[in-house]
Amino acid sequence: MTAPRKGRVKPFEGPAGGWGSVRSLADILPRERLGPVALAQLARQNKTEGFACVSCAWPKPADAHPAEFCEEGAKATAWELTTLRTTPAFFQEHTLTALRGWSDYDLEQHGRLTHPLCYNRETDRYEAISWDEAFAAIGEALRPISPKAVAFYSSGRTSLEASYMYGLMARMFGNQNLPDSSNMCHESTSVGLKAAIGVPVGTTRLEDFDHADALFFFGHNTGSNAPRMLHNLRSCRKRGVEIVTFNPLRERGLERFTDPQNPIEMTTLRETDISTQYHQLKAGGDIAAIMGMAKFLIEWDDAASAAGAPPVLDHDFIDQHTKGFEDFVALVRSTTWKTIEKESALSRSAIEEAAQVYADAKAVMAIYGMGLTQHVKGVDNVRMLVNLLLLRGNIGKPGAGPMPVRGHSNVQGQRTVGITEKTELVPIERLEQQYGFSAPREKGLDTVETCRGVIDGSVKAFVGLGGNFLRAVPETEAMERAWPNLEVSVQIATKLNRNHLFPGKVTYLLPCLGRIERDVQASGPQAVSVEDSTSCIHGSRGKIAPASEHLLSEPAIVAALAKRLLPANPKVDWDAWTADYGLIREAIEETYPEIFPDYNARLFTPGGFWKGNKAAERIWLTESGKAEFFTPKSLNAAGFEDADKRFRLITLRSNDQFNTTIYGYHDRFRGVKGTRDVLFMNVADMLAEDLTEGEIVALESDAGDGVRRRREGLIVTPYDIPRGCLGAYYPEANVLIPIEHHADESHVPAGKSVPVRIARG
């Protein structure tokens, strides 16, 4: 059995933010060999004329703090600014076979990629090559392959400009195989909200925090994954706003926070309590918990009606704006408390407390993350949350509505400008007119379908615009085994990651500029743009010298690829776009005139410019023209039944990682130091399984499909987690997730309830 990395786990007593985050920052700069120049860059982060943080998609306020960044954003900036380099000499020293033995941390810790590289099968090494040779060879290798067999992946960091060009290139090549990180993330939101309220995105914005009187939080680890939101939560708490949290784990950022940018709080160690109620439901228990709340609300509304008191439900809103209410109410009435308590693992009285806050609040925001979307019933989770909001008209008024917290800094924006496999989400005819070609109508491949295609051989070529596809997707072993069968594997990246170590028959690794770096093209310095989680679009201008003189920008790389891949088309001047990104924005404006009027002029609007949202105006672009209630078929979002010795594994992010990028081995808020090989477990389950703290075990998937999937070397760690649930870190745990274990409809891999068993020896 592989020896786990030794570490220490001790309950963390401090608040989120506070001195801990300042100390953590002090560790980062030396780790990336950075001096004071980095601090100057941090001051520009998330400012109107500065650059959009490369970490999360939390909005950038118009009235920014002097330092509008958080510990996590600083880590992400430092990670990109690092003075360390992964040069051709590095690859001379290490074969890919050897590098496959390295950890994710060690791979990226070697710093920024500096040269375009081509894999040489004879030597098993990457070797430097000129850009021209690389593009010519890639074009030549891709052109003969049937468009259906080529996948164009992108990760949500890529700008609007590069994303638009990338989607156009794929469609002109002849497919919509545009899987992206959103397919593993908030696609359950895009599908669920679209069906329920007619828009695929949240309806709320930063200013709604000033009007809400209760926040309901589901499955988001704010302290680690969108720490700047803690400022908004703190001001809400100071106004007496109730914050009701549903999460299997007690996440520190949702409990207590000290503002590291507030000298008084820092010196007096004053903390703000964040959640006023904290409900540790079991993983996959949200549909049941919300059903329970709805049951109370309906009961109270019945009682009010009988007593002639004001109603608890907003009947005017329901009558005027919704469809499906009767069916939903019938289901709620017929659902028993026994089922609700069993499926949520919450008591009726705990659910009553939450329902009471909901009933008393005039305006409620529902904020959520991967804890809802990454389940087999992830779309149902989202729809159930909308049901809750609809009951009291909590959509389309100040301080109310759904707020999905997006992950990557432009993941929402990519979809806005055409990164999607679904024809109905793009103005296909307008694209055809604009560029004089006939675009494919056949649905393209999403992430899960791309994985299936890589495994069964029907996908023959993969181009990755950022990201670490192979590491982020489930079914690690089968995927790694199949990858070398690809005819072509091209990756555009800033740092070396595990995906790059699995070559296809023709393999290129192309290094690009990061967003913080100066991007000078023929017409001068360029800016790019991104869309945040609240649909606000911001310009971003890099100022720092590039990590290497050989780097190209993402728009330049996409343009050069497109030129080699596609026949010349006088209506698409890829070179002019590369020379002046303002022209790409003009093209985007022409394709999406409703969203991007005066795009260039509004690029640096303080706080970004809002792309608008019909549901926020109570205009419902749904099938029925109304907001639609939903009746779930099952209260169990996990999608599999509990059985003896079967656990629901939650795959988690630590506070020292950004997705597959591992900054370090600590998870401060969860008290973990020096290791990621932990298995969080309830003490009663440890007793039942006869396990002691520190014992080393393995997990095996229990999907019942006969495939052996195993993760070795996990340290049993007692933790405050509901019985029947386990926690382990992503991406290491992805070996355990079958590719077919994904959300119905949205295909988001169901990483928050993976059926597993504990194995020994």
Ligand X SMILES: Nc1nc2c(c(=O)[nH]1)N[C@H]1C(S)=C(S)[C@@H](COP(=O)(O)OP(=O)(O)OC[C@H]3O[C@@H](n4cnc5c(=O)[nH]c(N)nc54)[C@H](O)[C@@H]3O)O[C@H]1N2
Residue 720 is classified by DSSP as S
Residue closer to Mo ion, measured from CB, 185 or 294: 185
566 contributes a contact to ligand X by CB under 6 A:
no
Q: Which stretch binds ligand X (CB under 6 A): 43-51, 545-553, 564-572, 728-736?
A: 728-736
413 contributes a contact to Mo ion by CB under 5 A:
no
Contact with ligand X (CB under 6 A) among 155, 275, 414, 416: 155
Q: Is 287 helix (H, G, I), strand (E, B) or coil?
A: helix
Which residue, chain included where needed, has tokens 């008084």? 264
742 contributes a contact to ligand X by CB under 6 A:
no
284 contributes a contact to ligand X by CB under 6 A:
yes
Q: How far apart are CA 359 and CA 295, in angstroms?
A: 12
The closest alpha carbon to 292, from 361, 340, 244, 329, belongs to 340
280 binds, among ligand X, Mo ion, none (CB under 5 to 8 A by kind): none
Burial profile 673-696: b = 16 or more Cβ within 10 angstroms, e = fewer = eebbbbbbbbeebbeebebeeebb
Contact with ligand X (CB under 6 A) among 192, 260, 369, 504: 369
Q: How far apart are CB 323 and ligand X at their closest, in Å?
A: 27
Contact with ligand X (CB under 6 A) among 77, 188, 203, 224: 224
Q: Which stretch binds ligand X (CB under 6 A): 224-232, 297-305, 475-483, 594-602?
A: 224-232
Amino acid symbol at 740: E
658 binds, among Mo ion, ligand X, none (CB under 5 to 8 A by kind): ligand X
Amino acid symbol at 230: L
Q: How far apart are CB 406 and ligand X at their closest, in Å?
A: 7
Residue closer to ligand X, measured from CB, 288 or 461: 288
Q: Which stretch binds Mo ion (CB under 5 A): 180-188, 321-329, 596-604, 673-681?
A: 180-188
Binding flags for ligand X, 677-706, as an x/- string (CB under 6 A): ------------------------------
185 contributes a contact to Mo ion by CB under 5 A:
yes
Task: Please count the residues of this chain forming the interface with Mo ion, following the rule CB under 5 A.
Answer: 2
Among positive and negative, which fits the CA dihedral 691, 697, 701, 706?
negative
Name every residue whose Cβ is closer than 8 Å to that of residue 112 and which is 6 or more positions away in sequence.
Answer: 80, 82, 84, 85, 86, 494, 495, 511, 514, 547, 548
User: Taking the C-alpha atoms of 53, 54, 57 and 61 in order, what is their torsion angle to the nearest 10 degrees?
Assistant: 10
Binders in 398-457 for ligand X, by CB under 6 A: 407-408
Name every residue whose Cβ is closer than 8 Å to that of residue 71 and which is 6 or more positions away in sequence.
Answer: 17, 21, 24, 25, 227, 260
Binders in 446-465 for ligand X, by CB under 6 A: 465
Binders in 297-336 for ligand X, by CB under 6 A: none
Residue closer to Mo ion, measured from CB, 393 or 407: 407
Q: How far apart are CB 156 and ligand X at their closest, in Å?
A: 6
Are 724 and 733 in contact by the 8 Å Cβ rule? The answer is no
Find the DSSP H helices in 475-523: 476-482
Residue 582 is classified by DSSP as H
Task: Please count the residues of this chain forming the interface with ligand X, following the rule CB under 6 A.
Answer: 62
Are 472 and 184 in contact by the 8 Å Cβ rule? The answer is yes
Q: How far apart are CB 663 and ligand X at their closest, in Å?
A: 8
| Helical (H) or strand (E) element with 215 | strand 214-218
Name every residue whose Cβ is closer than 8 Å to that of residue 376 and which is 6 or more positions away in sequence.
Answer: 637, 638, 639, 640, 741, 742, 743, 744, 750, 753
407 contributes a contact to Mo ion by CB under 5 A:
yes
Residue closer to ligand X, measured from CB, 29 or 510: 510
Query: Under the rule (CB under 6 A), what is the footprint of ligand X?
Result: 55-56, 72, 108, 155, 157, 181, 184-185, 218-221, 224-226, 246-249, 251, 283-284, 286, 369-371, 374, 407-408, 465-469, 472, 492-495, 497, 512, 514-515, 554, 650-653, 657-661, 730-731, 733-734, 737, 749, 751-752
